[in-house]
Structure 1
C-alpha cells in the first residue's frame, strides 16, 4: 500500500521552526516527515530536536550530500536519530552536483557510482554488523558502531537517472526521486531498479517520490510557484539531463521557461483537490511506495500557515 508523507517546506534557521511540521506528521495521517539537504542546518539534528520536544515520528533525509560527512559519521547520525526518535529512519544520500564536490573536496569523485557504492557499503556494515573493515578508492574505514536496540534504519539513494537507479537496485533499501514525472518513474526508474535488484539477487528497493505541487486558487500563479521551488534544481546538469530524458527541456538562461516546462511535463503538479489526488495516483500506478508532498513553493510565497493548511488539505484529499 502506498503511503503519503510530507516534506518540511522550510530550511530552518532554528530547529524549533520544524516543530509545526513534525506536529502535523504526528497528528495526521502523514507517514513520515522528510527534509532535504541545506547548508545552514543539519536535518539529523533538527529531527533529534523535534523528538526531544515530544514529536517522535518516522523521519527521512532526501537526500543528504555525501561530501559533507564520512560514511561512518552518516551511520552514527542515522543510528542516533533512530534511537532518539524511537521510529524508523530513512537515511538518504547522494553525491551531489559535480561543482559541489569540487568546492568541498578539490576534485569530484572519479566515478560517481563507485563512490556511492563504497559509501553504502561502509554504512551498511556498521548499521547491520556493527563493524566494518573497508579500504577503497574513496573511503577507508576500520571501525565499530556499538550495538543498541533501535528501530530500523533504511539506506536510501537519490535516484534521477538509469545507472544510479540500477545501482540503487543492487545496494539500497530505498530509491528517492525528485522532480521525476510519474511516466518517467514508471518507464525508467522502476525498470532499472528491478534490473539491479535481480542482478544482485535481492528485493527491489522501495520507491519514494518527492512531488512538488500546489493547490489551484484564483490569486495564485502556478508558473511562479513552480519557479520559486524548483529553479535551482533545473539549473543543475544532472537534473536537466533527467528532465530531458522525461521529455522536459530546460535552459540555464530561462528560469520562467523552465517553470512552464515543469508544469507542462507534469513534474510540478497544480490543480484542485480532486485533480491533484488523481495526478498523485499516477505515481501509485507507476510503482511509488511512498509519495512525499512538497509544498515549498506555497511556503516561500505565502508562509507557514498557508503551507500547513495546504498539507492538511492534501493529506485529507489523498486519504479518500
Structure 2
C-alpha cells in the first residue's frame, strides 16, 4: 500500500501549500493530494508544486464536476499534467447537493448519470481525442491539444454501489472519505473490483483518505474534528457510509491514539484492499509532526 499526504487547500498561503508537498516528499511519501474547496484552485496548486518539488506524485481529491465543463477541466488537467512531468492523478466527483445547489446555484440532478456522462466525455478528451458527445446531462464538442502529455489517471469519489460501478467501468479507481478498513473490505473493494472486471478493465486503484493523529488525547482530537467538520455528517452520501459503519458522525472515523494504535489502524487499511492511503494529520502542531513521522516510518517499513 502506498502512502501520501492529503492537504486541505483552504487556509494557508500558496507557499505553505507547496511547503507541505515538499515535506511529504522529504518524508519519503509517495504522493500529495489537494482538496478542492472555495479557496485555492487545486490543479493550479498541483502545477505550482510540481515546478518546485520533483519526483512525488500529485493529485486532486476531488475537483467538483458540475461547475466545470469537461472541455475546460480537460484543458486545465492536461496543463497541470504537463507542468508536473506526467505526475498527476485527477480525482473528480459530483460533490454534494448542498454545495452544488447552495453555493454554485446549479442543479444537482441525477449525479450518477452526470458522472457516467462526464467520464464518457472527459476520458477521451484527456487522451487528446476529438469528442462529439450528446448525453442527457451534458453536451461536448471539441478537442484539447496538449502536446507531450499523457492522459492522467482518473479517480472518482465513489461511496455508494451505483457510483462505485461507474468508477469501476469508466475510471481508474475511487477515492474515499470517512471510510474505515471494514467498509473498504466489505463494500468498496468488492463492488468496484467486480465492476472493473466485468468491464474488462484492470484492477482499480482504491485510494482512501483518513484523518490521523498520534496523540495522548484522542477524545480531544475527535472533538476538534467534530467542531470543524461535523456538518459533513449531514451530507447524504456520507450519512449512508456512516450508517453502513454503525457510526453517527465523521469524527468517529478519525484514527487517533499512540503510535502503536495508529500503526495498527493504518496496517488494517492495507489488509482491506486499499492501494493508497492519504493521511491528513490533525491535532496540535506537535501531534501532526508525530503523525507524519510515524506514517513515514511505516512507509519505510513497507
Change in Cα spacing, 1:307 to 1:150, as seen in structure 2 (3 Å) is farther
1:255-294 aligned within 5 A:
259=251, 262=252, 267-294=253-280
CA distance in 2 between partners of 1:17 and 1:198 (Å)? 41
Change in Cα spacing, 1:196 to 1:219, as seen in structure 2 (3 Å) is closer
Where has structure 1 moved over 4 Å in runs of 4 or more? none
Residue matched to 1:254 = none
Report if the CA contact (8 A) 2:210-2:277 is conserved: yes
1:71-82 aligned within 5 A:
71-82=70-81
Report if the CA contact (8 A) 1:60-1:91 is conserved: yes
Report if the CA contact (8 A) 2:9-2:42 is conserved: no
Shift of 1:316: 1.6
Shift of 1:33: 0.4
CA distance in 1 between partners of 2:227 and 2:277 (Å)? 21
* Length, aligned pairs only: 300
CA distance in 2 between partners of 1:287 and 1:72 (Å)? 33
Change in Cα spacing, 1:67 to 1:219, as seen in structure 2 (3 Å) is closer
CA distance in 1 between partners of 2:36 and 2:8 (Å)? 12
Report if the CA contact (8 A) 2:81-2:152 is conserved: yes
Residue matched to 2:25 = 26
Residue matched to 1:158 = 157
CA distance in 1 between partners of 2:84 and 2:227 (Å)? 32
Change in Cα spacing, 1:100 to 1:226, as seen in structure 2 (3 Å) is closer
SS in 1 for 2:95: coil
Report if the CA contact (8 A) 1:16-1:50 is conserved: no
Shift of 1:153: 0.5
CA distance in 2 between partners of 1:219 and 1:92 (Å)? 30
Report if the CA contact (8 A) 2:70-2:121 is conserved: yes
Shift of 1:115: 0.3
Residue matched to 1:311 = 292
Residue matched to 2:166 = 167
Shift of 1:55: 5.0
Report if the CA contact (8 A) 1:120-1:155 is conserved: no
Report if the CA contact (8 A) 2:155-2:174 is conserved: yes
TM-score, normalised with respect to structure 2? 0.91
Shift of 1:209: 0.3
For residues 269-301 of structure 1, what are the alpha-carbon distances to aligned partners after superposition, in whole Å with 9 as ceiling and x for unaligned?
112222211111111111110011111x32xxx
Shift of 1:183: 0.4
For residues 92-118 of structure 1, what are the alpha-carbon distances to aligned partners after superposition, in whole Å with 9 as ceiling and x for unaligned?
111111122223244322x21110011
TM-score, normalised with respect to structure 1? 0.86
For residues 213-264 of structure 1, what are the alpha-carbon distances to aligned partners after superposition, in whole Å with 9 as ceiling and x for unaligned?
11122597233243245413212122111110122134xxxxxxx63xx1xx
For residues 57-100 of structure 1, what are the alpha-carbon distances to aligned partners after superposition, in whole Å with 9 as ceiling and x for unaligned?
31111111112211111111211111101142111111111122
Over aligned residue pairs, what C-alpha RMSD do you find?
2.1
Shift of 1:124: 0.5
* Structure 2 unaligned spans of 5+: none
SS in 2 for 1:165: helix
Report if the CA contact (8 A) 1:277-1:318 is conserved: no
Shift of 1:126: 0.8
SS in 2 for 1:108: coil
CA distance in 2 between partners of 1:113 and 1:235 (Å)? 19
Shift of 1:25: 2.5
Q: Does residue 104 of structure 2 align to residue 123 of structure 1?
A: no
